[in-house]
Homo-oligomer: A and B are copies of this chain.
């Protein structure tokens, strides 16, 4: 970790003057002042406090005490090159520190975070002992829950309200109360709730006005996650979406975010199998190797797996998991290599495995004169262990972007998502390395430094 690395001067002295920023960045910012220091406490609000959320919280609490390393977190472990020097992100950027975070959230079950952590069986119980009291003290607020969007769960700890608009209002009050009670200066939200059934955006999602009418009329295409998101945006709370749910991925949410000057990001954390896919597919393409088929299956036994066992929830996930290859391989440009690609993705609920998901991929590729080859990738990963550091990075980087005056969809955070949200009209980048470059260049730009230049052949760190 990096708590010991104290820069002798605060980051904002002498960095980041507006004059050094490029015009591209300028356009996306509402005001061109330099970044304020991250004083005070930052509330990290998590709608959905299950495996990922509890692993994230417990890990931060342990890391604060020096009892664990936040491995997988760029903001805590990573660095980049600036003007020939390699600096740690935590020193370079005016990020909130881990000890400035205060955790809260909502769930449809009343378990506290210690109970949630035990039930999700990700971390060893013994490891939770030193932080047990802190975890027990974090209790979810009552959730907003219409069960038709998550068929396998039967929530008991839920708000009631005549209309969806009422429920939004209640969430807004929760946020205000939390900030007040916990003495926080600001908040960010990261959706860690269950995957909802696939519900396409429709007219109700087309504009702020239509959506607000829909809230009053209990429009069925408005799902739970959208209610949280709507409340957050109205309260000026940046919102990142870790699931494949629409949540904030529709025009009305973008409009509302512009109005309230709030940043958004999503969707669906990119962790195990898809992470690897967005690296191996570009490699095959870099070498002009053909691909005839790609079969991916996953076995997992956590509650997320149980939810995804419902075909309608799986459909949401399948969409975010399947889009990846076509975009990377640019099927259209290379019909002879990728034109016939058959891509199939499966998620199998398999209780013996718990959170220790296994993703097995078979790739049927071909080379010189069409000769067939195969690759198998068996990733014995741990779902929440891979997702937790992403939650941390998103909380800190969203807060940074918000403080930097950025507004709306932060597509440079696509690095963290299976199905990166973009502004209307832009196509998503799925390849991990351009995503990484984009993220790092955006951070450099925020700090007024130059992007890694055209003749740079070094890696982007």
Enumerate chain A interface residues (CB-CB to B < 8 A).
1-3, 22, 24, 55, 59, 62-63, 68-74, 76-79, 86, 123, 126-127, 275-276, 279-280, 282-283, 285-290, 292-293, 295, 297, 299, 328, 330, 333-334, 336-337, 340, 342, 344, 346, 348, 350-353, 358, 360, 362, 364, 366-371, 373-382, 384-386, 388-389, 412, 415, 429, 431-434, 436-438, 441, 450-461
Contacts and interface: CB of A to CB of B under 8 A. Distances in A.
A364 B301 CA distance: 12
A7 to B, nearest CB: 15
A181 to B, nearest CB: 29
Contacts of A453: 3, 453-454
B377 A373 contact: no
A54 to B, nearest CB: 12
Contacts of A71: 288-290, 336-337, 366-370
Contacts of A336: 1, 69, 71, 77
A166 B392 CA distance: 67
Contacts of A334: 77
Given A3-B453, A342-B352, A441-B457, A279 B283 contact: yes
Contact of A292 (B352, B452, B458): B352
Contacts of A346: 297, 346, 348
Contacts of A412: 457
B373 A376 contact: no
16 contacts: A1-B455, A71-B289, A72-B288, A72-B367, A74-B288, A86-B333, A275-B283, A275-B287, A283-B432, A286-B415, A293-B352, A297-B297, A297-B360, A371-B385, A374-B379, A451-B455
B368 A389 contact: yes
A120 to B, nearest CB: 13
A453 to B, nearest CB: 5
Contacts of A358: 362
Given A279-B279, A452-B454, 19 more contacts: A1-B455, A1-B457, A59-B369, A63-B369, A70-B369, A72-B288, A78-B288, A86-B333, A123-B369, A297-B360, A342-B351, A353-B364, A369-B385, A376-B377, A429-B459, A434-B457, A437-B457, A454-B454, A454-B456
A286 B376 contact: no
Query: Chain A contact residues: over half helix, strand or loop, or mixed?
Result: mixed
A282 B459 contact: yes
A104 to B, nearest CB: 21
Q: How many copies does the complex hold?
A: 4
Most buried by B among A55, A350, A441, A455: A455
Contacts of A381: 373, 375
A420 to B, nearest CB: 11
Contacts of A283: 275-276, 279, 432
Contact of A127 (B86, B369, B373): B369
Given A386-B368, A431-B459, A286 B351 contact: no
Contacts of A458: 429, 434
> Ordered nearest first, which 6 A-B pairs have the shortest CB separation?
A293-B352, A451-B454, A3-B454, A68-B369, A438-B457, A279-B283
A369 to B, nearest CB: 4
A55 to B, nearest CB: 7
Nearest to A430: B459
A286 B457 contact: no
